[in-house]
Structure formats: C-alpha cells, structure tokens
Amino acid sequence: MDLLPASSDLPPRLVLTGISKRYPSVVANDGVSLSVRPGEIHALLGENGAGKSTLMKIVYGVTKPDEGTILWEGRYQTIASPAQARRMGIGMVFQHFSLFETLTVAENIALALDVQMAKPLLAARIVEVSEKYGLPIDPQRLIHSMSVGERQRVEIVRCLLQQPKLLIMDEPTSVLTPQAVQTLFATLRQLAAEGCSILYISHKLDEIRALCDSATVLRGGRVSGSAIPRNETNDSLARMMIGGELAECRLEPQAAGETRLSLDKLSLATIDPFGTTLKAISLAVKSGEILGVAGVSGNGQKELLAALSGESLSSHGPMIELMGQPAGQLNPAQRRQLGLTFVPEERLGRGAVPAMSLAQNALLTGARHGMVSKGVMRQAAIRQFATDVISRFGVKCGDEQSAASSLSGGNLQKFIVGRETMLNPKMMIVAQPTWGVDVGAAQLIRQALIDLRKQGVALLVISEELDELFTISDRICVLADGRLSPAVRLADTSIEQIGNWMSGNFDALPSADADAVADSSGGDPGHHPTSIKQESHLAQA
C-alpha cells in the first residue's frame, strides 16, 4: 500500500454531522460533528461522561443515533451492527473488554472474524501479528487466567487482524507498560502512514500531544472546541476539556505511624497454570503513608491482590498481619471488619455488580457502616451514603438508583474509589486507581488518597502508571515474576531505576546511602512536597 502523508488532502473517509443520542436520564451526544481523513490520527477528548464512547459506538454500529448523518467514503450510511461496520472496514478496541472468559484467545478472536480461518492458521496469525506489534499473547491461553493488561492485548490484536480502514481505540494504553505504549504508537503511526484512519480516545494528554494530528473536544455531549495537539500544552487541553483550571494536589512530608499491614516472606502457589507464584514477599505499610507497587501486568499483581483481600488464603496465617493480627486465614469480610477497604482493578464484576444500582452496590461493602440495623436494611441511609459518594466525587449519573452498568468507566471508578474511601478505612488497598479516568477525575482520586494518608490511613497502591506512583507515593517497590523489590523512598530512586527493576533486576540496591532504603517497617517519607496539575513530566522521562 502506498504511504500517505499525515496531512493528506484526500477527501474525508468519515464525516459525522449533527449526531445526537438521548437516554432517559442523560443526553449523551448533542449535535456532534467531526471528520477524519485517510492517514489521520484524530483524538477525541473530554471528561468521563462527555459522550466520547457513545459517539464511537454509533460509528461502530453498537448504538443507533437519534439524529444526524454518517458519511463513509463519500456515501451516506446507516451502520446497523458491528458486523456491518467491520465489513465496511471499521474496527474498534473497547475500553471495557468484550471477551468470553471461559474461551481461549484464539476462540475469542475467531468469534470476531467475519471470514473463517482454520485453527492452526488462525493461531499462527495471532502469534505473527501480536509479536510484530510487540503485544505477544498465547493463542491457547484461557481469558479468565489473564490480567487486565493481557486482556487488553487480546482486544488490540483481535482488531488489527481485521486490517481496518478506520481504527477506533477507546483508552487502548490504560493498562500497558511505557515500553508497550511506545511499540503501539509506532504501529499506529505505520498504520496511518499506510492510509488507515484512527480515532483515538485517551485521557493521557502527553499521549495525545505525541501521537495525534488533530483533536475534537467534547463537553457535556457537545463539541466544545478543536485543536492541533502538538501546538497545545497539557494545561490548555485540560482547560478545553473541563472548562476551567485543573486543581493542584500536593503530597506533603509527614512521619508514618504504626504498622497496619505486614507481609513476612509470603509465598503462595498459584493454581492457575498461567498465573504467577508469589515468592517470599515481605513488606510493611504504616499509618499515614502510601506504598506504591509498580510492575508490568501479569507479574503477580492479581495473586498479590487476592492474598491481601482475603480471596486467596495463605496456609500460614502469620505471613500476613493486618492491624497487628494474623490475617492469612481471614476471609474478605473478616478483614473488612478489621478496617480494610479494597478497590480491585476489575470494575464490573468485582468492584461493582453491573445490574445492581449504585445504592445497592454501596450496601455490598458498607453494610456494617450504619446501613443495616438488627438485620434490617436502612434504605434511607443506603441511598444517602450513595448520594454522598456521587456528590463528593462528581459521579455523572442519573441518581443513586442508576445501574452500575449504565455509568462510563471513569465515573464507575470514581464511585468505587469514593465508596471505599468514605467507609473510614484504617488500611486501604487500591489497584489501578485512575485507569481510564479523565485528568480532572484522576486528580480528584489522587487527592482523595492523599487526604486519607493525611488522616493517618495506611495505603497500598498497585499501579502500572509510573507517573502516578511517583506522584502520590512515599515509598515505591516493584513486583516482578512474583518477587518484590526493596521499598525505597522517592527521593532516593528514579523512574529509570524503577524501570530497570521492572525487568526483575533488583538484586542490587541503587547507589544511595544505606539508610535510603526503607526497611520493611516503613519510615519517614523523607522527600520534598510534590505538586502536580495533570500528567507530570515524568511520563516524558
């Protein structure tokens, strides 16, 4: 295929005019218009709930617009289904995965292909394409055994196998490592050079500025502006998205208190043939501090979270202590009684029950916080708690009776984090706190975690966002192949050092004074105040 310049003067491949979509409680899109040319990487920006995903689902045939027209390669089209969209040459990578957990990678991909392929040939193509794009996956692996990041690879590879003319990507890098992101960007640039049009949704403003040729900004379902991202700053793009200045959040030094969570050489074999065995993990988290855990997806994060939450029980109780008590044999409810709250990385299914209302989801983890009296549910208290979470964390929804599945990914994340935060925890474990969340909401969540730290709560934050961990953590460590690195103070390490440790090479400590490495009982954070406005400069390191 001939290579096309990014600034091609060819007529638009896709033109949307006056697209509107209304639901009973919200107007998702209100007269939205945009166009995308061959070879153009076009960003779609906006806060959570601004209507981005709804608009893309309309283009992909998942949702039918109430008003407006779609012009595709010079012809007006009514896109009735994803199958029709794929036949037209439109592919989409969804933010929320559409995978069958009990099937293999190859079986999931086969279901999305309109042309049948023999199993050996399909498996070979999956290996070829995934390795070419730096997203290696095993075609025979079962989806339920894969981490969030690994499932994202399946979604991307499944789409690339279709060789689309228009590729829609909804938060494709939210759980990818920095190295994988750069590989993906190289792939997208090559696809664009070959004439593929790309519609790119992301809340990571550094990504938008580095990758995209143009941008359309949505606010409240309407187009609020357009921009050439490379000519903008993160601040100016954020202002276009939220309609004002982005609030700062600061991490001030403070002394840590007593130990709230400790692991003493925790080893836990995985029953999953594709899982990761935990190997002699030791750590401690004190009150009034945030310990960040970095690592590439699939290196034991899922297993560590299950061990900490109580979903997996350790055979030796003393290996895990919570609030000074042996907790290895305590189930999740018993650990919550000791003061633990927990935010899993999977929002729908583990963080919230999709079909249940927000109020009902609040009750699931908050029953012991005044919502039940003498075995009777206090409906007014339940609704008030959910309403307070919605108000405090700016959750965009109809009301507390809205189903969890009706919220955008970012808004559901705000609700789950808000729910766990407002249960007055002593110890809080958070996985991927700002995955798929817009810059304003990310700041809100990070500030909420910092406020808990200030109140004396102990926090363990597992994230694949190094930028985020360097922003909110007092100390940081790395999980690689089921092993945990030493925990070091932020002032005594660097993003390069942590990146090196992510490969598993942390047997040698960084060249710093001996007292720079925090021992397993934690210590004084010992670093300067950190101030951020959005994605920090560390992402560019």
pLDDT tens over the chain, length 541 residues: 344 444 457 899 999 999 999 988 788 999 999 999 999 999 999 887 888 989 999 999 999 999 999 999 999 999 999 999 999 999 988 766 778 889 999 999 998 887 888 999 999 999 998 888 777 899 999 988 887 668 878 888 888 888 889 999 988 876 666 667 787 888 889 889 989 999 999 888 888 999 999 999 999 899 999 999 999 998 888 888 877 766 677 888 899 999 999 999 999 988 877 788 999 999 999 999 999 999 887 889 999 999 999 998 876 657 899 999 999 999 999 999 999 999 998 888 889 999 999 999 999 998 888 898 888 999 999 999 999 999 999 898 889 999 999 888 788 999 999 999 999 999 999 999 987 777 888 888 999 999 999 999 999 999 988 888 998 999 999 999 999 999 999 989 888 888 788 877 776 554 433 344 444 444 444 444 443 333 333 233 3
Query: Do residues 392 and 421 lie in contact, with contact meaning Cβ atoms separated by under 8 Å?
Result: no
Query: Do residues 148 and 172 lie in contact, with contact meaning Cβ atoms separated by under 8 Å?
Result: no
Query: Do residues 474 and 490 lie in contact, with contact meaning Cβ atoms separated by under 8 Å?
Result: yes
> Within the chain, which residue ranges are assigned CATH 3.40.50.300?
14-242, 249-339+425-540
CATH code of domain 249-339+425-540: 3.40.50.300
pLDDT digits (tens, 9 = 90+) for 365-419: 988 888 988 889 999 999 999 999 999 998 988 899 999 998 887 889 999 999 9
Domain with residues 14-242, CATH architecture: 3-Layer(aba) Sandwich (3.40)
Give the DSSP per-residue string, 138-167: -TT-BGGGS-HHHHHHHHHHHHHTT--SEE
Nearest residue to 535 (alpha-carbon basis) of 458, 450, 437: 437
Looking at residue 41, its amino acid is I
Give alpha helix (H) positions in 98-204: 105-112, 119-132, 148-160, 178-193
State residue 467's pLDDT score: 81
State residue 442's pLDDT score: 85
**CA dist 55 → 66, 346, 446 (Å):** 12, 24, 28
